[in-house]
């Protein structure tokens, strides 16, 4: 047995240290399966903070890299193993430690699944708003690692806005608390926020204090069909400009609609060029939908169909949630862009993306959290075809370049990982990169935490 495995097992039960290569290989990568990944020396599944501290102390003593993992639903290779690393999977630390209705907070371990937390707090009349489409699988630790968003973020904001405090194990095994449990607090630098979106590169989140909201009224949705993506994006601008606050404002282009229909047989209108879904969870959602429906019609919608009730609204959401999986089914592999632009530039991004798809002869479907300007142009390709893979990568990059040109960012919610790391420096510029490297050096001087990601 290697020194590493022996040392890990000193304070971990046998079933918490996996070394069979057939098993460890299955932890090698997240959902960006085409990104490079190595075989871990071990996969460790701790249940306690002390066990995590032991793993980090051992890794530091033996200078072995550690890759933290949640549910591996990430889309940028940020949870991918490096050759010979320790994969530190937090999925067994899945307890909800406290739900506090007075303070409207929850205290959770990192392996709690997003939807499990949502349902649990619902019992108290509370909600945890960040709702990635992967919510039935992804973990709170992974959501914090990526700073994830979701469908209702247009009204309720993203993960960063709900993380009040953290317990974090540093690479040398020290345990640090950041932030607060209170509604307000400005003591010192905001290290809590620093960990949100850090992609496991600064420390291991072992406990999180999360803010909750009262459960809003059930939302009602409408679907608006448009003869062009331009018209749909114009409707998005009109809705936002008019002061409406939808609880959801999502767009699917024709390619995506066809893919969703192929997969789910839902019968979405797939001859239309773009479908906009808008929802309201206000006191009078029907009135808000009528006003937004009129704005859609004025922007050129050919059809505006309000859902008949909550069940039909939920069905429309399900259709949107299945978009990425549906596009993946087109060729088996996708490269998913995550470019976020100012809403006013959404139409330019979609038009540019269509031109890039045509130039490279590829299928690129776009679904978008349109109200946030956050688009997911999804490049469908066959990874066994070298030429097609090259075109896929080129088109993926060209979409990011276009996003930056339009004043946007290369990633609104999926993170940088391996997939976009060449692009991070382009977006940040040399001074910002230097400061970020300095921060990394302070937290992880030996560079053992999730190396090869971000920079």
Ligand X SMILES: Cc1cc2nc3c(=O)[nH]c(=O)nc-3n(C[C@H](O)[C@H](O)[C@H](O)COP(=O)(O)OP(=O)(O)OC[C@H]3O[C@@H](n4cnc5c(N)ncnc54)[C@H](O)[C@@H]3O)c2cc1C
Instruction: Give the residues lining the site for ligand X (CB under 6 A).
Output: 30-31, 68-75, 78-79, 90, 110, 132-134, 138-139, 141-143, 145-146, 148-150, 199-200, 204-205, 324-325, 413-414, 450
Find the shortest distance in angstroms from Cβ 423 to ligand X: 16
Decide whether 138 or 231 has the Cβ nearer to ligand X: 138
Q: Nearest distance from residue 137's CB to ligand X, in Å?
A: 7
Q: Which is nearer to ligand X, 343 or 360 (CB)?
A: 343
Q: Which is nearer to ligand X, 85 or 278 (CB)?
A: 85
Q: Provide, rounded to whole angstroms, the least separation between the CB of residue 192 and ligand X.
A: 13
Residue 361 CB, nearest approach to ligand X (Å): 26
The token pair at 352 is 């540019």
**CB nearer to ligand X: pick between 324 and 380:** 324
Indicate the residue among 17 and 71 with the shorter CB distance to ligand X.
71
R_g (Cα) of the chain, nearest Å? 22
Residue with smaller CB distance to ligand X, 210 or 299: 210
Report the distance separating Cα 238 and Cα 333, nearest Å.
35
Please state the closest distance from residue 284 (CB atom) to ligand X, in A. 28
Tokens of residue 310, six digits = 């909550």
Phi, psi values for residue 327, rounded to 5°: -70, -35
Reduced DSSP (H G I as helix, E B as strand, rest coil) percent helix, strand, coil of the chain, to 5: 40, 20, 40
CB of 328 to ligand X, least distance (A): 8
Least separation in angstroms between CB 40 and ligand X = 13
Helix (H) or strand (E) holding 285: helix 285-298
The tokens describing 334, both together, are: 């996708």
- Closer of 75 and 424 to ligand X (Cβ): 75
Contacts by 309-313, CB closer than 8 A, 24 or more apart: 309/220, 310/218, 310/219, 310/220, 312/221, 313/218, 313/219, 313/220, 313/221, 313/279
Assign 3-class secondary structure to 15-56: HHEECCHHHHHHHCCCCCCCCCCCCCCEEECCCCHHHHHHHH
Closest contact distance (angstroms) between CB of 75 and ligand X is 5
Q: Which is nearer to ligand X, 110 or 373 (CB)?
A: 110
Tell me the two tokens of residue 452.
């090869």
Nearer to ligand X, 152 or 301 (CB): 152
3-class DSSP state for residue 82?
A: coil
Nearer to ligand X, 291 or 439 (CB): 439
Minimum CB–partner distance for residue 392 and ligand X (Å) = 18
CB of 303 to ligand X, least distance (A): 26
Alpha carbon distance 147, 78 (integer Å): 12
Find tokens 């946007």 and name the residue.
Answer: 408
For residue 417, is it left (φ>0), alpha (ψ between -120 and 50) or beta? Answer: left
Phi and psi at 374, nearest 5°, equal -100, 110
Q: With 0-12 CB in 10 A as exposed, 13-18 as middle and 19+ as buried, what is 92? A: middle
Minimum separation from the CB atom of position 145 to ligand X (A): 2
C-alpha–C-alpha distance, residues 436 and 158, integer Å: 22
Alpha-helix runs per DSSP H in 299-446? 310-321, 323-331, 346-360, 386-405, 421-428, 430-443
- Using the minimum distance from each CB to ligand X, give the nearer residue, 79 or 349: 79
Q: What's the sign of the alpha-carbon dihedral 330, 335, 338, 343?
A: negative
Place of tokens 């995550």: 338
């Amino acid at each position: 047995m290697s020194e590493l495995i022996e040392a890990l097992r000193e304070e971990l039960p046998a079933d918490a240290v996996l070394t069979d290569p057939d098993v460890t290989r299955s932890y090698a990568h997240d959902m960006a399966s085409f990104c490079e990944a190595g075989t871990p020396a071990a996969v460790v599944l701790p249940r306690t903070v002390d066990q995590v501290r032991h793993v980090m102390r051992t890794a530091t003593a033996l200078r072995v890299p550690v890759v933290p993992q949640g549910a591996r639903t990430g889309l940028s290779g940020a949870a991918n193993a490096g050759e010979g690393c320790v994969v530190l999977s937090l999925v067994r630390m899945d307890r909800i430690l406290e739900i506090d209705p007075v303070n409207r907070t929850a205290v959770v371990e990192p392996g709690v699944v997003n939807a499990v937390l949502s349902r649990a707090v619902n019992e108290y009349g509370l909600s945890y708003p960040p709702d990635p489409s992967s919510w039935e699988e992804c973990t709170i630790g992974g959501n914090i690692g990526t700073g994830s968003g979701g469908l209702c973020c247009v009204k309720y904001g993203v993960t960063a806005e709900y993380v009040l405090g953290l317990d974090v194990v540093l690479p040398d095994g020290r345990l640090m608390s950041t932030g607060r449990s209170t509604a307000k607090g400005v003591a010192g630098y905001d290290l809590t926020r620093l960990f949100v979106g850090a992609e496991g590169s600064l420390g291991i989140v072992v406990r999180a204090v999360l803010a909750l909201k009262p459960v809003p009224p059930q939302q009602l949705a409408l679907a608006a069909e448009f003869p062009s993506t331009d018209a749909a994006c114009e409707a998005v601008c009109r809705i936002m400009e008019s002061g409406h606050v939808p609880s959801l404002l999502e767009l699917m282009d024709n390619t995506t609609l066809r893919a969703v229909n192929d997969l789910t047989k839902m019968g979405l209108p797939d001859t239309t060029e773009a479908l906009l879904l808008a929802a309201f969870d206000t006191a009078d959602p029907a009135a808000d939908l009528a006003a937004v429906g009129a704005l859609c019609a004025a922007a050129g919608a050919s059809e505006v169909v309000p859902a008949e009730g909550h069940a039909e609204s939920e069905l429309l959401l399900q259709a949107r949630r299945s978009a990425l999986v549906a596009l993946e089914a087109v060729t088996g592999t996708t490269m998913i862009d995550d470019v976020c632009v100012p809403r006013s530039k959404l139409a330019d991004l979609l038009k540019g993306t269509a031109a890039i798809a045509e130039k490279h002869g590829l299928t690129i479907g776009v679904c978008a959290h349109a109200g946030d300007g956050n688009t997911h142009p999804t490049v469908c390709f066959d990874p066994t075809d070298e030429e097609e893979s090259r075109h896929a990568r080129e088109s993926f990059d060209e979409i990011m370049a276009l996003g930056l040109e339009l004043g946007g960012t290369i990633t609104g919610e999926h993170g940088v990982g391996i997939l976009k790391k060449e692009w991070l420096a382009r977006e940040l510029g040399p001074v910002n990169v230097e400061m970020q490297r300095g921060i990394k050096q302070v937290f992880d001087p030996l560079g053992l935490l999730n190396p090869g990601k971000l920079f």
